[in-house]
Amino acid sequence: MIRFVYAFIAIVVIAPAAWAEIKIKEVTSAGGITAWLVEEPSIPFVALELRFKGGTSLDLPGKRGATNLMVGLLEEGTGDLDAQGFARASEELAAQFGYDSHSDAVSISARMLTENRAEAVELLRRSLVAPSFPQTALDRVREQVLSGIRSDLKDPEQIAGARLAELVYGDHPYGTPGEGTLESVAALTREDIAAAHKGALAKDRLFVGVVGDITEEELGPMLDALLGDLPETGAPLPGPADVAITGGIDVVDYDTPQSVALWAQNGIDRNDPDFFPAYVLNTILGGGGFESRLMTEVREKRGLTYGVYSYLVLRDLANVYMGSVSSANDRVAQSVSVVKDEWARMANEGATAEEVDKAKALLTGAYPLRFDGNGAIAQIMVSMQMDGMPIDYIATRNDKVNAVTPEDIARVAGELLDSDALQFVIVGQPEGL
Amino acid sequence: MLRRMVLAVAVSVGMSAPLKAADDLVTTYELENGMQVVVVEDHRAPVVMHMVWYKAGSADEQPGVSGIAHFLEHLMFKGTDTMESGEFSSTVAANGGRDNAFTSYDVTAYHQRVASDRLELMMRMESDRMVNLRIGEEEILTEREVIIEERNQRVENNPGALFREQLTAAQYLNHRYGIPVIGWRHEMEALDMDDALSFYETYYAPNNAILIVAGDVEPEDVKALADQYYGVIPANPDLPPRLRPSEPPQSSARRMVFYDARVAQPYVTRSYLAPERNSGDQRKAAALTLLAELLGGGQTSVLSQKLQFETKQSVYAGSWYRGTSLDATTFNLIMVPAPGIGMQEAEDAMDAAVAEFMAEGVDAAHLDRLKMQLRASQVYERDSVESVANRYGRGLTSGLTIADIQEWPEILQSITSEDIMAAAEEVFDLRTSVTGWLMTEEQEVSQ
């Protein structure tokens, strides 16, 4: 067999643009609620994604965990339905509702059959607008949250994440886990939960994505029926986090055979003109899966880990550049050393033209693969709205990736990367650190 | 309530396009060398998933080389006669795709997601490494360190995973399902080139493989490409039959307590040896599938209702059953006690809840709701050709035929309360069970 592969390694333009076929319409209901819609009538269901900006960062002082617990209680009772009654009602409709929260948003994901959509929308509405937060449900779900917190306190990855957040974000809500502490969650009352609900689920912070078997004409009334009764305004959002990373290695002693290492340095904003060079840079350094430099040096050449990654963390109120690796206690020092060397090499030398081309091919080719299903597309559309992107962003995004040059990478690497300023947190019993 | 649902379905069928199940989009055929092909069509986006599933997993390994199926999976990303080490994945990436692989008891599978006009390239490369793998001695040593770090990450750092290894080892007295897929550490440390090549040469052949292509493709185009790339590879005439050591009668309940200081939340779990789906004989497995959902499948399940809502002795209680398996599988219960509830008390409460269910029988309305959800899942599944592809891959590598896989939804709908109770009577036999407590020594002292 001839070496056919080289012909394909030469960089390819991924021809048929999958995203060109995704036709997003902006729909505004009579009641003034805006949604992005993709009509996809081929399967008789609709995927709905709602996000309320703010999330667990809205927790008031002393009430850490209130938003998280509140979201866990939305499906635990409304009106004459208790937790089991609500679950039975959604099972009868075969509707699937997911309620979740993180540091920047409360998110609601729903899948509803066309055949009973009106009833499913009404059930979902009741859970969002009129949850009853019964005390028995509060006590039961609180125990589940506390159980999760106790587990996190003994999980090396969670310990590392919490310690790094504390070092990086300090007193900002990002500095502590959104689930709260054993003490703060134990003290939460029904009034705290009701207040968290009122503050978090409001129209002034709502973003909606809808994909599936529904028309523009049907969507407006559905949005008003589902969301029209929410309050107009909610609690004020916190200000930006004051990220101050000076560098160093912080070891948390924990008796476990493999050390978990996380690291962080200052990041870059999505709206920064250098964001796309930084994004391509990260793909080359540690974001590109098996092809990244970190994976090649730490795993493929040295066998020091199963996985090593770096990632640009883009949050609403802070940007950091992070990474992670896990190695046996007697080998993790070597992994950390290789990571720092690669960080410095990229800062000093940038990347080759071939590396840049490969990363661009990976990023531009992988982009359409994200749009794989109604629910995924609904989520992407909501994220785009939250990030303030234009409705035609999908069609232009790959051009921004392709415009990045090796010179851009070299310049941005020099400005952004600082191997001496990396803050490491290592949980385990690392030798030689 | 059920009547209303049925009416709603009928109306919808009358008014719009008929409800098509995902299986209507599936085409299957077999190449001359015995390689099975499954095509799942979805033309919504110009993307394709290309997968090759080998009917060989960790339970097909020889004694003493546990983990070799998984180790070989890693080594398959090294070179061939015509490709450099690592070139497979870098080529997929350079073409804007994503690739990976996984190993389980009954199967090893390799998959890539790419733009649909890159399907031919994927087939060229995947068919190449089916027979032309070349591994260097250095690579064996380095990659062995990687799988040991993988074991560290997945198992050694996780007391729950260590506990499950011990439970499973006690469940199977003779079958290799008792040995972890990733391998026992001491055997992994000694795996070498000969072990890897022996497994490769025995099992990696077209007559032991299934090609699954899902996405924006036409079945006849896939057939032509499959003939060109996979069809030319000769079948392995020496492919051994999949006859594994089978279980003797299990006649003694096993119990264990696993202590680890890293345990935050203690729990009680029990597994019972259970029959799996067999070709032409899936009713018992269907009944157990429904039993697992009724008994412990979520908020409205029997265990949740009794232990979380009524007695409040549990933070979480559930049951599960994995019927798609080549050989005997397990039916499992879990009970996570609420604070202040001791381990024995937790186990007794779990047993009492199951005993009550056995006396009370199946709630007909609950069963109707489950069946409604199963029907709906066929609609939702059409949104993800990958899950359809995985359903076929798992089924075909677990001894089922295309017909078995396609009949399964109807079989589930036909199961009665009596079928479920009969299956429950049979499976809840303590003599075939393993009961385990996961805890720390302080938790024992504090009780």
- B92 vs chain A: nearest CA distance in angstroms? 8
Which residues lie closer than 8 Å to B84 by C-beta, 6 or more apart?
none
- Cβ <8 Å between A289 and B89: yes
What mean pLDDT is predicted for residues B200-227?
A: 97
Contact B269, B303 (CB under 8 A): no
Q: Which of A:81-140 have CB within 8 Å of B?
A: 83-84, 87-88, 91-92, 94, 96, 111, 113-116, 140
Asked whether the ipTM of the predicted complex exceeds the cut of 0.90, the reply is yes
Interface-testing mutation among A6, A11, A14, with chain B (most B C-beta atoms within 10 A): A14
> What digits encode the pLDDT tens for the residues B13-57?
333 333 456 677 899 999 999 999 999 999 988 999 999 999 999
Query: Which pair of tokens denotes residue A100?
Result: 């979740």
Question: Each residue of B120-146: b (16+ CB within 10 Å) or e?
Answer: ebbbbbbbbbbbebebeeebbeebbbb
Give the whole-number percent of chain B exceeding pLDDT 90.
91
DSSP state of B398: T
Residues A91, B373: C-beta atoms closer than 8 Å: yes
Burial class from Cβ neighbours inside 10 Å (0-12, 13-18, 19+) for residue B418 reads exposed
Does residue A9 sit at the B interface (CB-CB below 8 Å)?
yes
Q: If you ran DSSP here, which 8-state letter would residue A115 be given?
A: G
- Which pLDDT belongs to residue A289? 82
Residue in A with minimal Cα distance to B19 = A44
Distances (CA, A) of B72 to A64, A305, B75: 47, 17, 5
Residues 6+ apart with CB under 8 A from B110: B51, B52, B73, B76, B99, B100, B101, B126
Contacts of B315 in chain A (CB under 8 A): 143-144, 147
Identify the burial level of A183 via C-beta atoms within 10 angstroms of its C-beta, where 0-12 means exposed, 13-18 middle and 19 or more buried. exposed
Q: Which chain A residues are closer than 8 Å to B74 by Cβ?
A: none
Bridge partners for A53 per DSSP: A105
CB A174 within 8 A of CB A103: yes
The mean pLDDT value for A388-393 works out to 95
Q: Which region among A81-95, A414-428, B7-21 has the lowest average model confidence (pLDDT)?
A: B7-21
Say whether pLDDT at B2 is over 60: no
Query: Starting from the edge strand earliest in sequence, which strands make up the sheet with A34-39, in order?
Result: A25-28, A34-39, A206-212, A45-53, A105-113, A96-101
B46, closest residue in chain A (CA to CA)? A18
What are the strands, taking DSSP E only, across A79-196? Answer: 81-82, 96-101, 105-113
Q: Is A95 exposed, middle or buried (0-12, 13-18, 19+ CB in 10 A)?
A: buried
CA distance A305 to chain B (A): 5
H helix or E strand, kind and range, residue A208: strand A206-212
- pTM higher than 0.80, yes or no? yes
Q: Taking CB atoms and an 8 Å cutoff, what residues of chain B touch A306?
A: 146-147, 149-150, 152-153
CB A170 within 8 A of CB A244: yes
Active-site residues of B, by number, are: 73
Higher pLDDT, residue A290 or A399 = A399
Q: Pick from A306, A338, A397 the residue to mutate for testing the B interface (most B CBs within 10 Å).
A: A306
Contacts of range A411-416, beta carbons closer than 8 Å, 24 or more positions apart? A411/A274, A411/A277, A411/A350, A412/A274, A412/A277, A412/A278, A412/A281, A413/A281, A413/A346, A413/A347, A413/A350, A413/A351, A414/A347, A414/A348, A414/A350, A415/A274, A416/A266, A416/A268, A416/A274, A416/A278, A416/A281, A416/A321, A416/A347
Residue A114 confidence (pLDDT) above 60: yes
Chain A CB within 8 Å of residue B198 CB = no
* Angstrom distances, CA of residue A296 to CA of A242, B142, B381: 34, 12, 37
Task: Indicate if the pLDDT at residue A16 is higher than 50.
Answer: no
pLDDT in tens, A320-356: 999 999 999 999 999 999 999 999 999 999 999 999 9
CA–CA dist B170, B178 (Å, integer):
7
- B229 vs A2, more confident: B229
A45 touches chain B (CB under 8 A): yes
Any CB–CB contact under 8 A between B444 and chain A? no
What integer pLDDT is reported at residue B442 of this predicted model?
A: 75
How much is the pLDDT for A1?
Answer: 33
Does the beta carbon of A61 lie under 8 angstroms from any beta carbon of chain B? no
- Say if CB B402 and CB B222 are below 8 A apart: no
Phi, psi of B230 (to 5 degrees): -95, -30
φ/ψ of residue B39, rounded to 5: -115, 125
Of A4, A289, A306, the CB nearest to B149: A306
Q: Which of A405, A112, A140, A229 is nearest to B314 (CA)?
A: A140
Q: Which residues pair with A50 in a beta bridge?
A: A108, A208
Q: Give chain B's mean pLDDT.
A: 93
Give how far B145 is from chain A: nearest CA, Å: 5
pLDDT for B24 equals 73
What are the pLDDT digits (tens) for B87-96?
999 999 999 9
Nearest to B308 by CA among B345, B331, B335, B290: B335
Per-residue pLDDT of A158-213, as tens digits, reads 999 999 999 999 999 999 999 999 999 999 999 999 999 999 999 999 999 999 99
* Per-residue confidence (pLDDT) for residue A315, from 0 to 100: 95
- Cβ of A84 within 8 Å of Cβ of B124? The answer is no
Residue B388 reports pLDDT greater than 70? yes
| pLDDT score, position A244 | 83
- Per-residue pLDDT, averaged over A357-378, amounts to 93
pLDDT band at B3 (very low <50, low <70, confident <90, very high): very low
Confidence band, pLDDT 50/70/90 cuts, at residue B266: very high
Per-residue confidence band for B441, with pLDDT thresholds at 50, 70 and 90: confident
Percentage of chain A lying above the pLDDT 90 cut: 92
Q: What local confidence, expressed as pLDDT, does residue B20 receive?
A: 55
Assess B121–A contact: CB distance below 8 Å, yes or no: yes
What mean pLDDT is predicted for residues B183-200? 98
- Mean of pLDDT values over A46-68: 97
Query: CA-CA distance, B323 to B370, in Å (whole number)?
Result: 17
Q: Name every chain A residue with its beta carbon within 8 A of the beta carbon of B116.
A: 16
SS3 B345: helix
The answer, yes or no, to whether residue B115 has pLDDT greater than 60, is yes
Write out chain A residues lying below 8 Å of B152, CB-based.
257-258, 306, 326-328
Residues in chain A with CB shorter than 8 Å from the CB of B336 are: 147
Residue A247 has a pLDDT of: 94
> Which residue among A42, A94, A358 sits closest to B373, beta carbon to beta carbon?
A94
pLDDT of B446 reads 53
Residue A125 is predicted with a pLDDT of: 98
Give contacts of A305 with chain B, Cβ < 8 Å. 146, 149
Mutation test of the interface with chain B: which of A38, A143, A215, choosing the one with the most B Cβ atoms within 10 A?
Answer: A143
Identify the pLDDT of residue B12.
32
Is residue A245's pLDDT more than 70?
Answer: yes
Reported as a pLDDT band with limits 50, 70 and 90, residue B110 is: very high
Question: What pLDDT sits at residue B21?
Answer: 62
**Tokens matching residue B343:** 């381990």
Q: CA distances (Å), B333 to each of A80, A299, B347, B356, B441, in order?
A: 32, 38, 10, 15, 23
pLDDT of residue B387: 92
pLDDT (0 to 100) of residue B445? 56
